[in-house]
Amino acid sequence: MIDPLVIALVVLAVTGALIGFASGLLGIGGGFIMVPIQYALLTGFGLDHTLSLRIAFGTSLAVVIPTALSSAYGHHRHACVLERPLRAMFLPCMIGGFAGGTIATHLPGRWMALLFGLFVILAVAKMLPAGAREPSGTPAGGTTLAGYALWGLLFGCVSGIFGIGGGIVMVPVMVTYMRFSMHEAIGTSTALMVGSAAAGVASYMVNGWSVAGLPPWSFGYVNLLQWLPLAAASIPMTQLGVHTAHRLPPEMLRIVFIAILALVGLYMIVSGVTG
pLDDT at 134 over 60: no
Domain count, the chain: 1
Lowest mean pLDDT among 12-21, 79-88, 93-102, 257-266: 257-266
Confidence of residue 4 (pLDDT cuts 50, 70, 90): confident
Residue 124 has pLDDT above 80, yes or no: no
Give the per-residue pLDDT at 143.
61
DSSP string, the chain: ---HHHHHHHHHHHHHHHHHHHHHHHS---HHHHHHHHHHHHHHTT--HHHHHHHHHHHHHHHHHHHHHHHHHHHHTTT-S-HHHHHHHHHHHHHHHHHHHHHHTTS-HHHHHHHHHHHHHHHHHHHTTPPP----SS-SSS-SHHHHHHHHHHHHHHHHHHTS-SHHHHHHHHHHTS---HHHHHHHHHHHHHHHHHHHHHHHHHHHTT-TTPPTTEETTEEHHHHHHHHHHHHHHHHHHHHHHTTS-HHHHHHHHHHHHHHHHHHHHHHHHH-
Domain span at 84: 4-274
pLDDT over threshold 90, residue 125? no
**pLDDT tens string 85-100:** 999 999 999 999 899 8
pTM of the model: 0.80
The pLDDT of residue 131 is 47
